[in-house]
Amino acid sequence: MKWIDFEAKSAEEILAWAVPKFGSRLGLASSFGMEDMVLIDMISKMNAPVTVFTLDTGRLHEETYATMEKARSRYGIEIKSYFPKSADVETLVSTKGFYSFRESIENRKECCAIRKMEPLSRALSELDAWMTGLRREQSVTRTDIPKAGPDLNNLHLVKLNPLADWTEDQVKAYIEKHEVPVNPLHQRNFPSIGCAPCTRAIEPGEDIRSGRWWWENPEHKECGLHRPK
């Protein structure tokens, strides 16, 4: 099967292909937003041995931790947490302060590299494939993401985005139909949820990613986890 063939497949069909192929060597990178909770619900219905992992940057919202616990309780899953190296965080904070990421794009990317990119590298070293809840309509930086293909930053890995062509309405409809628990921040106009200092609620009519790194231009609003180097 060619990667382009996956574009015609549903999210459930992609999971049905990936689960038996990769088993526990397939990981779901979850920040416990709506899309990730949809995927957790789907794999739980398959009794799939997928590894669910999260990058705990040390600056997540309290509501995100509460949602993690709801997922653990509801689905009976183990969540692997990867933390940044303490020495790197200590050096960053000691030399540049607690909010250096708001001073420049370079500083923000440095913070993301320490708190997210390095932990992700450790997580992916234990996998053969990983998947995300990315959707094309989320931002201008995601309009071309494929449903399946090689991870361009880690060519030995397969990367899956089963919900790539889903709309926000489809996500919400699935959540309502299957009574999927969601992060309460979504009810407070947080469509995209990351670190607490880098995430805010959006106003009516704003882009759904406008609450992330709102001091930057839209084309820069990625931490590096999902963009080719």
Give the number of other Cβ atoms within 10 Å of residue 140's Cβ.
12
Instruction: Over range 212-224, report the average pLDDT.
Output: 66
Helical ranges in 46-185 per DSSP H = 62-75, 86-96, 105-112, 118-124, 168-178
Give dist(CA 43, CA 52) in Å, integer: 10
User: Known catalytic residue: 223?
Assistant: yes
Confidence band for 215, pLDDT divided at 50, 70 and 90: confident
Output the DSSP codes for 90-114.
HHHHHHH-TTGGGT-HHHHHHHHII
Mean pLDDT estimate for the chain: 91
Confidence band for 38, pLDDT divided at 50, 70 and 90: very high
Confidence band for 118, pLDDT divided at 50, 70 and 90: very high
Give dist(CA 167, CA 25) in Å, integer: 28
Instruction: Over range 41-68, report the average pLDDT.
Output: 96
Phi, psi (5° rounding) for residue 149? 165, 180
Instruction: Decide if pLDDT at 212 tops 60.
Output: yes
Place of tokens 């790194």: 213
Give dist(CA 27, CA 104) in Å, integer: 32
What residue segments make up the domains of the chain, in order of their start?
3-220
Instruction: Decide if pLDDT at 32 tops 60.
Output: yes
Instruction: Decide if pLDDT at 224 tops 50.
Output: no
Instruction: Decide if pLDDT at 144 tops 90.
Output: no
Phi, psi (5° rounding) for residue 12? -65, -35
pTM, two decimal places: 0.89
Pairing of strands 154-160, 148-151: antiparallel
As given in the structure block, the two tokens for residue 15 are 């999971």
The distance from CA 166 to its chain's CA centroid, rounded to whole angstroms, is 15
- Specify the DSSP element, H or E, that contains 155: strand 154-160
Q: Give the model's pLDDT for residue 229.
A: 60
Instruction: Over range 57-78, report the average pLDDT.
Output: 96
As given in the structure block, the two tokens for residue 73 are 């309780």
Please say whether the beta carbons of 171 and 34 come within 8 A.
yes
Side-chain half-sphere exposure of 7, counting CA atoms within 13 A: 8
Instruction: Decide if pLDDT at 222 tops 70.
Output: no
Instruction: Decide if pLDDT at 132 tops 70.
Output: yes
| Topology adopted by domain 3-220 | Rossmann fold (3.40.50)
